[in-house]
A and B are shown apart, each in its own frame.
Chain A
């Protein structure tokens, strides 16, 4: 179990008064304090870490969010923002003395402007919900985390989420134009606007990826793009992880940017095929999903060049999707990959690190060695084109030893990412999962600079504290 700061006794002592204060702000259905009802909120997508919250509130307007934060600020109550609760780094893990602010009732699309290519949405709209709302008119929202069906745009802002198609279109930060941010004092601030750049400092750049530590985003202006004329996916199967990794490097190195370039190894291929029936090559050690888009001529030209490159790596098979249905099945398997691992292992830790693509073969080889060393199976499913790794370490949470080993294995992988010149987060954020490894990536001075930014927004460290920074020196400094 993860270490969390000691709850503030004075807050626990004022339990009834705090509950009453929250009930004065929100309708009865928006304040949850009954332990039985709080229980399902004790965890998120990282379910091996759990902590019962102090309360959960479900606001329906920006003004309600502001009133809740103002109240918590005045009363010294910690706050944990939560979207759909799909975080794989424990970003929404509650604290025993914290009010969880759940954004799922703010789920309306407020405006879609096709002329200026933007949409205004509330934080609780799902990522896929944005595309669903504009696709009939030929538009889409580009970043597509695998959890896009369920994850909410507010959480995407917090974690600067990525996705398979970010290779071409960039991550959340590259696709958001403006945010309505509520500060811990309850001030409602508008950052950015409906256009690509704003005067002054890049406040958006600061807010996106701040993991709910600077404020809570309630409304987001996202950039929407005209959908391409067509897309086509292809599957390339290889005899070894390292070989597939080298092929990725060769494709990217040739200057081609496919719209997506995804990697799956043998355990992943088998688990996902069982779920999606997509025709994945079950005889392969590793597989790449490569998608190109544009006119048919453009697709043909790109696929032709990609096939030539793949052919140099002794592929077992190269298969181009022949229909939209086939492509949809290919993506269904990939997008459901993490859940599908549930078919072969009761629990997994999903790591998230980024490395230069040229180091892929070496890193994949090392992960294989570590897997043998720790005696834990690993499935590799990741955004290969970006070098964004997602090793899924399979373990049994009902066995404490297995869980500790998995955590140590995961930490070793992330250290390896930093060692080869990469980064210990890709798109899932630091959360609680990786906070104690931040020292591997940053010097004390660098961490201190970041803490000072946090303090400027939230002097009392009430917002999503115990995340992002190593716990050992956060709490004393915050106090």
Chain B
């Protein structure tokens, strides 16, 4: 696609990168079809192609971001379905990431919007603060029914309260740094990204990962000084904060590499994994560039690692269980991991079913379900509508955001790794319905369990 940057503009490295990305787009429009916001809203301005155009115009004119630009870029989920679909290989992720930074720097948001974004950035990445906030939310939930009105502010407030767990789980193992020794001979040594929100909302996920990996002979390290991956602030356009998080992690894991070595850096939150794998780009202009690239090259999702280590179950399933596998966008689009989780779940003895339109986001998308409750709610309803006909006993997914988003609809949501750990000697996931309840329900008789998803 034609661009019209001046030589002077192109001298700025960020603009030069944006120009290259824009030039690779041929404006064919394929991306519109698989974009969740376009499917729901039906407006070119809410499609990837439309946003690329809005960004092009903003960057070419060099003007501050306007309200319409901010409005429509905010409505992008960054699910990256467009990148899976794009035949031209347009690097939409880095384009919208940069555009979000520009919006944050040049656009003055309404006060309540600024305050909410600042609040999210100040709380979510810090486990202790989040725990305290959630205690408050449990109290506020009693008052939640009193929040009336259809203003965006009221909708967002209700969305936030709805996402808070009913009961606050206890602390998991990962809230302290430490080394979890392997059983038997050590096969590998990996760092686990303890991250932020997940260990507060559902510490059982990390616990399962650690149990499973150590049982398989892997030493697991939760490195001192590592914390949030930076994704939450990154997607809010808060560039400096995101870089700080990334830098801290790079430093922490580099220390581990230099001392006892690391074979991989593993995440069991796919939203974080996508950003971790991009550290090389994120820190490209910093003194840490080289180390960041090395960290990025070591980053793996837990499903990739388990396949590499040849995960095998240690017991047969006690009864037939059908799982609806929900592909998190950060896994299927961000990291292009589509088969590994399904292969592992089948290997563990589960029947795996996939919903129609598996490429569409469930609406979670980091803080999106709080900031854009309307579109997020429509996507959630749509996703549940496609999952329910499968009559699964539970939904399995590899990302805490999706698990929270799809929860509360009468179907258990369980992280893939907890199910895999169970079949390899770990405890039965508490979220799973009781045996009697599972025995009483049959999956859809015409269920196609091995159906390949569409070519999109």
Name A residues whose Cβ lies closer than 8 Å to a Cβ of B: 29, 32, 34, 36-37, 39-41, 43-45, 47-48, 56, 58, 84-86, 102, 104-105, 107, 124, 126, 128, 132, 147, 149-151, 274-275, 324-325, 328, 331-332, 335-343, 346-348, 397-398
Contacts and interface: CB of A to CB of B under 8 A. Distances in A.
A147 B66 contact: no
Interface in B43-83: 43-45, 47, 49-51, 53-54, 57, 66-69, 72
A37 B86 contact: no
B89 A343 contact: yes
B24 interface: yes
Contact of B85 (A105, A149, A341, A346): A149
Contacts of A56: 44
Contact of A132 (B3, B45, B53, B454): B454
Contacts of A274: 89
Interface stretch (B25-33, B134-142, B306-314, B395-403): B25-33
B2 interface: yes
A275 B89 contact: yes
A398 B66 contact: no
Contacts of B258: none
A45 B87 contact: no
4 nearest A-B residue pairs (beta carbon): A339-B87, A342-B88, A336-B87, A397-B2
A44 B53 CA distance: 11
Contact of A347 (B1, B47, B72): B1
B452 A39 contact: no
B315 interface: no
Contacts of B26: 47, 338-339, 341-342, 347-348
A85 B68 contact: no
Interface in B296-312: none
A149 B33 contact: yes
Contact of B34 (A29, A124, A149, A275): A149
A325 B452 contact: yes
A150 B88 contact: no
9 contacts: A41-B44, A85-B29, A85-B49, A102-B43, A338-B28, A339-B26, A342-B24, A342-B88, A346-B24
B45 A32 contact: yes
A47 B27 contact: yes
B456 interface: yes
Contact of A36 (B43, B51, B69, B455): B69
Contact of B42 (A40, A104, A147, A346): A104
Given A45-B28, A397-B1, A340 B87 contact: yes
Interface residues of B, number: 45
Interface in B68-117: 68-69, 72, 85-90
Nearest to B28: A339
B23 interface: yes
Contacts, number: 130
A452 to B, nearest CB: 34
A340 B24 CA distance: 10
Nearest to B26: A342
Contacts of A336: 30, 87
Contacts of A347: 1-2, 26
A45 B29 contact: yes
A331 B455 contact: yes
**A-side binding surface: helix, strand, loop or mixed?**
mixed
Given A102-B44, A340-B88, A347-B26, A47 B1 contact: yes
A104 B33 CA distance: 10
Given A332-B455, A346-B24, A150 B29 contact: yes
Nearest to A82: B44
Interface in B238-269: none
Interface of B: 1-4, 23-34, 38-39, 42-45, 47, 49-51, 53-54, 57, 66-69, 72, 85-90, 356, 452, 454-456
Interface centre among A102, A104, A328 (most CB of B within 10 A): A104
Contacts of A128: 33
A279 B452 CA distance: 19
A346 B1 contact: yes
Nearest to B25: A342
A250 B39 CA distance: 44
A86 B28 contact: yes
Contact of A398 (B3, B44, B49, B356): B3
Interface centre among A36, A84, A107, A325 (most CB of B within 10 A): A36
A58 B41 CA distance: 10
Contacts of B85: 149
Given A340-B87, A343-B24, A40 B32 contact: no
Contacts of A132: 356, 454
Given A36-B54, A36-B69, A398-B3, A43 B27 contact: yes
A197 B237 CA distance: 58
A39 B54 contact: yes
Nearest to A325: B452
A338 B87 contact: yes
A314 B175 CA distance: 68
A105 B23 CA distance: 29
A309 to B, nearest CB: 29
A324 B452 CA distance: 10
A150 B32 contact: yes
Contact of A40 (B34, B50, B88): B50
B110 to A, nearest CB: 17
A63 B454 CA distance: 34
A183 to B, nearest CB: 24
Contacts of A105: 42-43
Contacts of B2: 47-48, 347, 397-398
Contacts of A86: 28-30
A40 B44 contact: yes
Contacts of B53: 39-40
A54 to B, nearest CB: 16
Contacts of A85: 29, 32, 44, 49
A3 B49 CA distance: 25
Given A36-B68, A149-B85, 20 more contacts: A34-B68, A37-B68, A39-B53, A40-B44, A40-B49, A44-B29, A102-B43, A104-B44, A107-B42, A147-B30, A149-B34, A149-B456, A150-B31, A150-B32, A274-B89, A275-B89, A339-B26, A342-B88, A342-B90, A397-B2
A144 B34 CA distance: 17
A337 B26 CA distance: 11
A124 B90 contact: no
A332 B45 CA distance: 27
Nearest to B67: A36
A324 B26 CA distance: 29
A278 B299 CA distance: 28
Contacts of B42: 58, 102, 104-105, 107, 124
A390 to B, nearest CB: 13
B247 to A, nearest CB: 34
A176 B72 CA distance: 36
A58 B53 CA distance: 19
A29 B28 CA distance: 25
Nearest to B71: A37
Nearest to A104: B42
A149 B33 CA distance: 6
Contact of A346 (B23, B32, B47): B23
Given A58-B42, A107-B42, A339 B34 contact: no
A150 B30 contact: yes
A331 B274 CA distance: 29
Nearest to B85: A149
A104 B38 CA distance: 9
Given A150-B33, A332-B455, A104 B43 contact: yes
Contacts of B66: 36
Contacts of A398: 2-4, 23
A331 B90 CA distance: 20
